[in-house]
A = this chain, B = another copy of it.
């Protein structure tokens, strides 16, 4: 991947978006880019956090796994997003694992170098704080949903945010497999399938493969809020 391309992606990211060209070039010298195959483990829970990645292209899942083989997806990350940045600052091991879902282009920044640079670049530190802040907010609502809401509400909420991200478009393409979505929502593929079915018969949605059309956005929003269907 060419330098210019990398810079372009970094410039468009939340983390480095506010930086001037000169600063961006500096950042570029701090790390190195590399390619990763589909299914590659970027890091595993418990390992020391020696640095973090910025995802230049492709998709990565961050997940927790139990030794009985169950797993919970915490995030699905796309281009421009940092991966594994949080644990660095606490001097703690990675609290979860990360794996590529497709071939990816990655930019790796080593811990020491980056933290050192942070001291000279207050705007970068603030950007980093903003990123962690947003992560915390996402987790906050995830916890609320898992503890207090049932699967239909969680699904409805997810579909709502997906619709937001697509600029209000009512016809959506799921950016992940249904099994992965189930894991993200903290349920099983079977249950997800059934509830999608119920939402279709109740007239909220139309589903065709991994394309789905939202017929009743208000109704869906209500399910997300109140939890109950029909």
Contacts and interface: CB of A to CB of B under 8 A. Distances in A.
Interface in A47-103: 64, 66-68, 70-72, 74, 86-92, 95-96
B140 A64 contact: yes
Contact of A133 (B120, B132, B140, B144): B132
A227 B96 CA distance: 19
A7 interface: no
A92 B133 contact: yes
A136 B89 CA distance: 11
A122 interface: yes
Interface residues of A, number: 48
A130 B85 CA distance: 11
A86 B86 CA distance: 13
A136 B72 contact: no
A70 B148 contact: yes
Given A90-B133, A135-B136, A143-B142, A64 B122 contact: no
Contacts of A72: 143-144, 147-148
A92 B134 contact: yes
A96 B145 CA distance: 13
A193 interface: no
B64 A95 contact: no
B225 A132 contact: no
A186 interface: yes
Interface of A: 64, 66-68, 70-72, 74, 86-92, 95-96, 115, 118-120, 122-123, 125-126, 128-130, 132-137, 139-144, 146-149, 186, 225-227
20 contacts: A86-B132, A86-B133, A86-B136, A87-B136, A89-B132, A90-B130, A90-B137, A92-B137, A95-B141, A115-B126, A118-B122, A122-B125, A125-B129, A129-B129, A136-B139, A143-B146, A143-B186, A146-B147, A146-B186, A148-B186
